[in-house]
């Protein structure tokens, strides 16, 4: 019996070596382990053996079956792997061919800048406010402490919708009237920014447009200091242009702030050494700002001896042009897709 | 404004480099735009005294000059210039020198005679050629006799090494439009004093009242003063005076006119000199309401005038446009014997409007426009009188006419508290420091108590009215950049977008994700472009009263014109396809006396390969889905802008929230568009109004579904929405979803019919559905479609 088992094993090993395909392998399996396979038959015959041989033969037959079974499995795995490998070779592609066009669009560069500024100020606890673009002159000028004779009120400088006395309506020349509207609506304390569209009677050229965009900021609370104005705007500049950016504040004049200032940032192109972006000065004018003029607070019924605040305003088109190196304002309004694609 | 640093130094001791000064002035509020030398290249150009001039033996047009340049022997200069003469003091570029354009001058031989250099013209000296009269420019620049000794390097005496500071002044600092004004600011910044001006005059002869009477008939002239002088001789003013004018950008004319300009530059008060004889009468009347149609100004231009313009007249006709420019008819000439010197204050708005109407802006008008205090008129007149005598140009006639129509203001007093100031600025200054800063600005400070100051404001500082104004004065001398930066204390604020602002951002992200580019267009369009859309511009008209042109005269009531214009631009530039969107405001007419209303619209557009109505509709549906809006319908309606068979209104209940369609061929033609353009025009406000971001989770189904595919052949004109409704209404409660998966017309289908195929999914959430139940539902549907729509089931 033992000899039988040994010869079966020898035969199996020889046959296995000849196996070429999964089909051969399956035939081999049936020959040995199938219902009528050699091992199966031996197992079935054990019951006919003498009592003392049964356990010995049984054990060896079982061992042989395990051996065959595991050899078959191993062989099958190998064949399968060979097949997969050969398929992989066939399926090889040129990965340098272009990807399929997914047609992703993009935001307008000006809007990207607006979103970025909004996010910075949202993080500092500001909310975003909007106001009418066609506005009463009292909101656009009077409440903002603009002198009645100021030239910006002239028909040659601002667009008017109505000049009926007492009901003058202008296309707002600045986003500042939003300050007044929000102060009236929400009162103090307050922290707002308001990006938006403004209008001035300028002919269009590379740096001027009758339609352009500003962002306005306003903080009013008890105990707001000029140091707070500086701290807030310095933080803003660092978030927009990076930690290394430097700021400087220069005295200036605006009707709705006193003291007033302009904030310059160190040139982000040359780092302050002087280049054509900053006109060789190392500094770039970024925004106008100042402490809210008491006349402005009083105009909306806020006690200027109790409350103080600061306001700031910046030209968005200019920031976008500086940030992306766009040299002609008209490109922003033209919407050539080859231009728009560069900001996607 | 151009300021000569040399001149400034006559009033303030400036011990800084130009670069340091630039920073100090800018940081203290006097913004320096640029600071540049008149000319940086000239080198070694010396004063030479021409001793002898001889004709060149070998050349007709050349002369040989022996010139003393302070050395032992005279040098030889060969010249072709004809304006030189023996005894003339001239600039000589000697061997090795460099002239204005950077050329190095060497000894050169001219027809056998060696020239040791050359004589120089104004241009070769590197001076501003725009400001000299042509006769002077054309020849060698002849220096005044004894100007300097021969051999002196001329760079310094001719102020060619002077630094010209270009200063940007703010609107509230009219007082700084002068050397004195800038000197005071510089002195304050450097903590220095300012030199006093000399006003001394001698007693005059005769009396002005014998010559002149002045009447002011308009409040646009708060103050008018006049003095008169007998001219000694009309001649060029001294070179020192001319150089100051030149380096301030003003053209020297003659000794009388130069003095008026000099005082204007020095003190900020425009002056005007009339030739008394050509005034033609013995009076000056300042008034508006002149009937003349034109006046000819000093620049020899005839300018149209109107009755609102303030004029200086001789009682009969204008002799000057007040504060802007004198009239040619009363100009100072070589023959002038008697001079009337006007020093007056004019209303800044009146000057500004007249200047704008005339299109004439002068050194004088720009100073009036910023505002001049009335007291300056008298001071400046006196200073001019001093200078006329100092340069020996004229002798004063006794008397001073001074008419004030507006009373002078009492000096302003401001109370300033130390504690308030420190709190407001966020600094910690001692009272003495505050006093020091204010006094450096020439303000009179009285200490009331340990915390309180009373500050008296001089008349020239009309910008200082409130304690906040003084806070700025202290802050700018303390240095804005020295104020410690702090972060706001107090209440905590939460910054977040409103639901509408969030929706807008989400829509932007969705549409860019769908391949659309955001556009930005202006707010202006024209009635014509509305007509070109097939719409009536009168329906909703927000017109600008003073537009730049007809094409930008209307505030847009729709985003469509710009969207179509940009598609046209892209297509014409060879961009064969495009997908765009814009979220912006439109403007709408309201009753007279009210503000126009503003709405936010969302426009989505596309053109090019594979674009069709349904492609865009799918995107609109994505937009609606993002908004959480489910109960919408597309109805085959819409404006004249659209292809009549390819347009739809997007409707929620009965509310129209927008339109979508293919652009009508007529509009395509009007706007020069590609043949097929698809646009959706939606109200962002309404999307936001109907938006619903509530999401409620539904359990995933546990019982199996049964699906049925049904295709119906129906009349072409029946809307798929109607068929869908019939299916929905007759499918019973187990219908889970209906999906249209095929639309077919063509072979095997009659021409006036179409086939619509739907996949229906049935499911009962609580149990396994039986086939028989679904069959029953399908039978109901088929029957209803037959009865309601005369549709037939199509056999596959």
Tally of CA atoms within 13 A in the half-sphere of B492 that contains its CB:
2
pLDDT value of residue B407:
84
In a domain, A20, yes or no: yes
pLDDT digits (tens, 9 = 90+) for A263-312: 999 988 888 888 888 888 889 999 999 999 999 999 999 999 999 999 99
Do B670 and B527 fall within a single domain?
Answer: yes
Distance from C-alpha of A162 to C-alpha of B592, rounded to nearest angstrom:
9
In Å, how far are A191, B237, B391 from B690, measured between CA atoms?
A: 29, 80, 83
The residue among A225, A326, A338 with the most chain B CBs within 10 A of its CB, best to mutate, is: A225
**Which residues of A fall within a CB distance of 8 Å from B552?**
210
Residue B641's closest CA among B668, B612, B607? B668
Q: Is A274 on the interface with B (CB under 8 A)?
A: no
Instruction: Provide the pLDDT for residue B796.
Output: 59
- Which of chain B's residues have a Cβ under 8 Å away from the Cβ of A226? 424-426, 475, 480, 483
Are B510 and B545 in the same domain?
A: yes
Place of tokens 């500003």: A214
Angle formed by the axes of helices B375-390 and B255-267, nearest 10° = 140
Domain range enclosing A251: 109-343
Whether A287 maps to a domain, the answer reads: yes
A94–chain B nearest CA distance, Å: 27
Check whether residue B341 and residue B363 sit in a common domain. Answer: yes
- What would the mean pLDDT of A45-53 be, rounded to a whole number? 85
Closest residue to B488, CB basis, from A106, A161, A232? A232
Q: Residues B252, B341: one domain?
A: yes
As given in the structure block, the two tokens for residue B125 are 């000296």
A130 to chain B: nearest residue by CA? B501
Report the residue of chain A nearest B470, measured CA to CA: A259
pLDDT band at A33 (very low <50, low <70, confident <90, very high): confident
Separation CA A123–CA A252 (nearest Å): 28
Tokens (6 digits) for B595:
């503000």
- Inside any domain, residue A151: yes
Read off the CATH number of the domain in which A264 is found. Answer: 3.30.930.10
How large is the C-alpha radius of gyration of chain A? 42
Q: Determine whether the interchain pair A107/B508 forms a contact, defined as Cβ–Cβ distance below 8 Å.
A: yes
State whether A337 and B515 contact (CB < 8 Å): no
Size of interface A-B (CB pairs under 8 A): 237
Among B352, B372, B404, where does a domain finish?
A: B404
Give the total number of structural domains in chain B.
6
Count of alpha carbons within 13 angstroms of residue B207, beta-carbon side:
3
Based on the structure, what is the number of domains in chain A? 2
CA B129 to chain centre: 30
Element (H, E) at B68: strand B63-68
Question: Is some CB atom of chain B closer than 8 A to the CB atom of A268?
Answer: no
CA gap B605, B254 in Å, rounded: 69
Category of B594 on φ-ψ map: left (φ > 0), alpha (ψ -120 to 50) or beta = beta
Asked if the structure places residue A70 within a domain, the reply is yes
Under 8 Å between Cβ of B102 and B63: no
**Closest residue in chain A to residue B512, using alpha carbons only:** A105
Please give the Cα distance from B90 to B47 (Å, whole number).
Answer: 6
pLDDT value at A2 more than 70: no
Name the residue with tokens 């003498």.
Answer: A50
Q: Given A62, A90, A118, which residue is the final one in a domain? A: A90
**pLDDT value at residue A268:** 83
Q: What is the CATH number of the domain that holds B785?
A: 3.30.70.380
ipTM of the complex: 0.87
Contact A191 B546 (CB under 8 A): no
Task: List helix spans (H) across B251-311.
Answer: 255-267, 276-279
A337: its two tokens: 């897709």
Residues A59-78 have a mean pLDDT of: 90
What is residue B46's three-state secondary structure?
Answer: strand
Domain boundary among B663, B690, B717: B690
| Alpha-carbon distance B224 to nearest alpha carbon in chain A (angstroms) | 22
For testing the chain B interface, which of A162, A250, A259 should be mutated: the one with the most B CBs within 10 Å?
Answer: A259
pLDDT in tens, A226-258: 999 999 999 999 999 889 999 999 999 999 999
Same domain, B28 and B49: no
Chain B residue at shortest CA distance from A192: B495
**CATH code for the domain in which residue B14 is found:** 3.30.56.10
Q: Examine the domain organization and report whether A141 and A78 are in the same domain.
A: no
Alpha-carbon distances, residue A335 vs A108, A332, B575, B579, B580 (angstroms): 9, 7, 12, 11, 9
Residues of chain B below pLDDT 50: none
Q: Do B544 and A171 touch (CB under 8 A)?
A: yes
Check A291 against B424: CB less than 8 A apart: yes
DSSP per-residue codes, B552-570: G-EE-S-SHHHHHHHHHHH
A215 to chain B, any CB pair closer than 8 A? The answer is no
CB distance A227–B427 less than 8 Å? yes
In this prediction, residue A1 carries a pLDDT of 54
Phi then psi dihedrals of residue A40, to 5 deg:
-55, -45
Structure tokens at B69: 């340049």
- Write out the two tokens for B573: 């530039």
What's the distance, CA B650 to chain centroid? 43
Q: CA nearest B592 in A: which residue?
A: A162
Distance CA(A64)–CA(A78), nearest Å, equals: 21
- B592 and B661 inside one domain: yes
Asked if A110 lies within 8 A of B520 by C-beta distance, the reply is yes
Nearest-by-Cβ selection for A225 from B356, B486, B580: B486
Cα dihedral: B163, B168, B174, B175 (round 10):
-40
Q: B451 with B578, same domain?
A: no
Residue A149's pLDDT band (cuts 50, 70, 90): confident
Residue A98 in any domain: the answer is no
- Phi and psi of A290, rounded to 5°? 165, 175
Q: How far is CA B433 from CA B139, B481, B586, B610, B694, in A?
A: 58, 17, 55, 76, 62
| Domain shared by B593 and B734, yes or no | no
Residue B146 lies in a domain: no
- Asked if the Cβ–Cβ distance from B172 to A121 is below 8 Å, we say no
Are A193 and A303 within one domain?
A: yes
Cα gap B749→B789, rounded to integer Å: 16
- pLDDT of the residue at A76: 92
Cis peptide before A81 (omega within 30 of 0): no
> Which tokens belong to B379?
């001071």
> Does residue A249 fall inside a structural domain?
yes
Which chain A residue lies closest to B579 (C-alpha atoms)?
A: A105
Half-sphere exposure of residue A283, counting CA atoms within 13 Å on the CB side?
16
- Of all residues in chain A, the one with the smallest CA distance to B505 is A115
Q: Residue B77: name the closest of B68, B64, B90, B88 by CA.
A: B64
Interface test with A, best of B468, B569, B579, B618 (most A CBs within 10 A): B468
Tell me, rounded to whole angstroms, the distance of Cα B492 from its chain centroid: 38
* Chain B contact for A208 (CB, 8 A cutoff): no
CB contact under 8 A, B472 and A258: yes
Same domain, B329 and B448: no
3-state secondary structure chain A: CHHHHHHHHHHHHHHHHHCCCHHHHHHHHHHHHCCCCHHHHHHHHHHHCCCCHHHHHHHHHHHHHHHHHHHHHHHHHHHHHHHHHHHHHHCCCCCCCCCCCCCCCECCHHHHHHHHHHHHHHHCCCEECCCCCEEEHHHHCHHHCCCCCCHHHCCCCCCEEECCCCCCEEECCCCCHHHHHHHHHHCCCEEEEEEEEEECCCCCCCCCCCEEEEEEEEEEECCCCHHHHHHHHHHHHHHHHCCCCCEEEEEEEECCEEEEEEEEEECCCCCCCCCCCCCCCCEEEEEEEEEECHHHHHHCCCCCCCCEEEEEEEEHHHHHHHHHCCCCCHHHHHCCHHHHHHHC
Residue B87: predicted pLDDT: 95
Omega within 30 of 0 (cis) for the link into B229:
no
- Contact flag A259-B31 (C-beta cutoff 8 Å): no
B685 shares its domain with B782? no
Closest residue to A249, CB basis, from B423, B481, B581 = B481
Domain that holds residue B15: 2-37+164-190
From A116, which residue of chain B is nearest by alpha-carbon distance? B505
B55/B124 same-domain check: yes
d(CA B559, CA B582): 8
Query: Is B345 domain-assigned?
Result: yes
Residues 167-196 of A with CB under 8 A from B: 167, 169, 171, 189, 191
Q: Does residue A45 carry a pLDDT above 90? A: no
Rounded-to-integer distance, Cα A78 and Cα B195, Å:
105
Confirm or reject contact between A256 and chain B (CB < 8 A). Answer: no
Q: Which chain B residues touch A227 with a CB distance below 8 Å?
A: 425-427, 483-486
Q: Which of B466, B478, B517, B602 to mutate to test the interface with A (most CBs of A within 10 A)?
A: B517
Residue position matching structure tokens 């707070």:
A228
The predicted pLDDT at position A44 comes to: 85
Distance from C-alpha of B316 to C-alpha of A222, rounded to nearest angstrom? 63
Best of B219, B493, B606 to disrupt the A interface (most A CBs within 10 Å) is B493
> Do A154 and A221 fall into the same domain?
yes
pTM summary value: 0.86
Q: Is there a single domain that holds both residue B518 and residue B450? A: no
pLDDT value at position A179?
Answer: 94
Q: Find the mean pLDDT for residues A171-186.
A: 96
Q: Are residues A82 and A160 in the same domain?
A: no
pLDDT tens-digit readout, A5-18 = 888 888 888 988 88
In a domain, A101, yes or no: no
């Amino acid at each position: 019996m033992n000899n039988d088992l040994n010869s079966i094993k020898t035969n199996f090993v020889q046959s296995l070596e000849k196996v070429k395909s999964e089909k051969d392998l399956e035939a081999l399996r049936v020959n040995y382990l199938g219902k009528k396979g050699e091992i199966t038959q031996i197992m079935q015959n054990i019951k006919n053996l003498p009592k003392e041989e049964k356990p010995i033969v049984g054990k060896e037959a079982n061992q042989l079956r395990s051996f065959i079974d595991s050899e078959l499995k191993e062989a099958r795995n190998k064949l399968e792997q060979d097949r997969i490998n050969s398929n992989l070779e066939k399926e090889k592609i040129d990965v340098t061919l272009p990807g399929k066009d997914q047609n992703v669009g993009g935001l307008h560069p000006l809007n990207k800048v607006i979103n970025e500024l909004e996010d910075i100020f949202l993080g500092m606890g500001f909310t975003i406010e909007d106001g009418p673009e066609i506005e009463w002159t009292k909101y656009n000028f009077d409440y903002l402490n603009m002198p009645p004779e100021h030239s910006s009120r002239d028909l040659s400088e601002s667009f008017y919708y109505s000049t009926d006395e007492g009901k003058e309506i202008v296309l707002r020349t600045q986003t500042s009237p939003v300050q007044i509207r929000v102060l009236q609506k929400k009162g103090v304390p307050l922290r707002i920014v308001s990006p938006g569209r403004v209008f001035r009677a300028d002919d269009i050229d590379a740096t001027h447009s009758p339609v352009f965009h500003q962002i306005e900021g306003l903080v009013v609370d008890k105990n707001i200091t000029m140091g707070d104005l500086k701290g807030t705007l310095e933080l803003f500049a660092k978030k927009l242009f990076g930690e290394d950016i430097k700021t400087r504040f220069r005295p200036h004049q605006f009707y709705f702030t006193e003291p007033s200032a302009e904030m310059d940032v160190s040139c982000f192109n040359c780092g302050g050494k002087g280049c054509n972006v900053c006109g060789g000065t190392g500094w770039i004018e970024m925004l106008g700002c100042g402490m809210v003029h008491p006349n402005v607070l009083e105009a909306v019924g806020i006690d200027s001896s109790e409350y103080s605040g600061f306001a700031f305003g910046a030209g968005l088109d200019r920031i976008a042009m500086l940030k992306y190196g766009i040299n002609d304002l008209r490109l922003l309004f033209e919407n050539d897709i080859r231009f728009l694609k560069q900001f996607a | 404004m151009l300021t000569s640093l040399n001149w400034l130094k006559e009033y303030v001791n400036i011990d800084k480099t130009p670069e340091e000064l630039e920073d100090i002035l800018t940081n203290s509020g006097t913004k320096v735009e640029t600071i540049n030398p008149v000319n940086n290249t000239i080198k070694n150009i010396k004063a030479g005294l021409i001793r002898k001039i001889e004709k060149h033996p070998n050349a007709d047009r050349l002369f040989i000059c022996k010139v003393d340049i302070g050395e032992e022997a005279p040098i030889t200069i060969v010249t072709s210039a004809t304006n030189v003469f023996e005894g003339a003091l001239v600039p000589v570029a000697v061997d090795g020198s460099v002239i204005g354009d950077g050329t190095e001058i060497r000894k050169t031989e001219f027809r056998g005679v060696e020239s040791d250099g050359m004589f120089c013209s104004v241009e070769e000296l590197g001076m501003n050629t725009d400001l000299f009269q042509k006769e002077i420019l054309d020849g060698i620049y002849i220096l005044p006799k004894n100007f300097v000794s021969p051999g002196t390097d001329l760079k310094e005496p001719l102020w060619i090494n002077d630094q010209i500071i270009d200063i940007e002044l703010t609107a509230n600092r009219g007082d700084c439009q002068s050397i004195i004004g800038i000197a005071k600011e510089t002195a304050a910044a450097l903590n220095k004093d300012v030199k006093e001006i000399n006003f001394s005059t001698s007693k005059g002869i005769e009396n002005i009242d014998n010559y002149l009477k002045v009447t002011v008939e308009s409040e646009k002239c708060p103050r008018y003063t006049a003095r008169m002088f007998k001219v000694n001789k009309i001649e060029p003013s001294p070179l020192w005076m001319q150089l100051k004018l030149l380096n301030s950008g003003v053209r020297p004319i003659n000794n009388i006119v130069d003095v008026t300009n000099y005082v204007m530059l020095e003190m900020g008060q425009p002056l005007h000199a009339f030739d008394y004889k050509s005034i033609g009468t013995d009076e000056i009347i300042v008034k508006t309401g002149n009937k003349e149609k034109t006046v000819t100004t000093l620049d020899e231009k005839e300018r149209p005038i109107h009755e609102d313009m303030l004029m200086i007249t001789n009682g009969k006709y204008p002799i000057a446009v007040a504060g802007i420019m004198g009239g040619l008819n009363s100009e100072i000439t070589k023959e002038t014997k008697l001079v009337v010197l006007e020093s007056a204050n004019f209303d800044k708005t009146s000057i500004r409007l007249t200047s704008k109407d005339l299109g004439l802006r002068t050194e004088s008008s720009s100073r009036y426009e910023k505002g001049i205090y009335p007291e300056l008129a008298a001071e400046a007149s006196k200073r001019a009188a001093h200078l006329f005598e100092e340069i020996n140009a004229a002798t004063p006639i006794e008397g001073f006419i001074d008419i004030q129509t507006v009373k002078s203001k009492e000096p302003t007093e401001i109370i300033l508290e130390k504690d308030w100031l420190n709190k407001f600025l966020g600094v910690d200054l001692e009272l003495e420091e505050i006093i020091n800063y204010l006094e450096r600005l020439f303000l009179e400070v009285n200490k009331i108590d340990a915390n309180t100051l009373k500050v008296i404001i001089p008349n020239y500082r009309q910008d200082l009215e409130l304690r906040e104004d003084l806070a700025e004065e202290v802050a700018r001398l303390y240095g804005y950049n020295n104020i410690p930066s702090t972060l706001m204390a107090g209440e905590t604020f939460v910054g977040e977008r409103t639901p509408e602002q969030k929706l807008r951002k989400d829509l932007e992200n969705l549409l860019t994700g769908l391949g659309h580019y955001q556009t930005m267009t202006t707010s202006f369009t024209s009635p014509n472009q509305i007509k070109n859309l097939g719409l009536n511009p009168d329906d909703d008209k927000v017109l600008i009263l003073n537009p730049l042109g007809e094409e930008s005269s209307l505030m847009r009531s729709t985003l469509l014109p710009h969207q179509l214009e940009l598609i046209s631009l892209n297509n014409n530039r060879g961009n064969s396809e495009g997908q765009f969107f814009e979220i912006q405001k439109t403007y709408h007419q309201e009753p007279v006396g009210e503000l126009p209303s503003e709405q936010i619209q969302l426009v989505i557009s596309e053109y090019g390969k594979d674009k069709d109505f349904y492609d865009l509709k799918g995107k609109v549906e994505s937009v609606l889905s993002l908004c959480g809006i489910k109960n919408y319908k597309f109805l085959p309606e819409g404006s004249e802008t659209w292809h009549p068979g390819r347009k739809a209104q997007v409707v929620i209940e009965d509310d129209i929230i927008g339109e979508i369609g293919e652009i009508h061929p007529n509009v395509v033609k009007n706007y020069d568009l590609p043949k097929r353009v698809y646009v959706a025009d939606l109200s962002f406000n309404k999307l936001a109004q109907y938006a619903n971001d509530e999401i409620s989770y539904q359990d995933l189904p546990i019982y199996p579904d049964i699906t049925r595919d049904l295709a119906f052949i129906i009349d072409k004109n029946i809307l798929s929405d109607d068929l869908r409704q019939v299916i929905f209404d007759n499918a019973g409660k187990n219908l889970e979803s209906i999906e249209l998966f095929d639309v077919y017309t063509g072979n095997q289908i009659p021409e006036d019919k179409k086939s619509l195929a739907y996949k229906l999914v049935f499911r009962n959430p609580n149990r396994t559905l039986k086939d028989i139940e679904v069959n029953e539902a399908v039978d109901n549907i088929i029957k209803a479609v037959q009865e309601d729509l005369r549709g037939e089931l199509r056999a596959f």
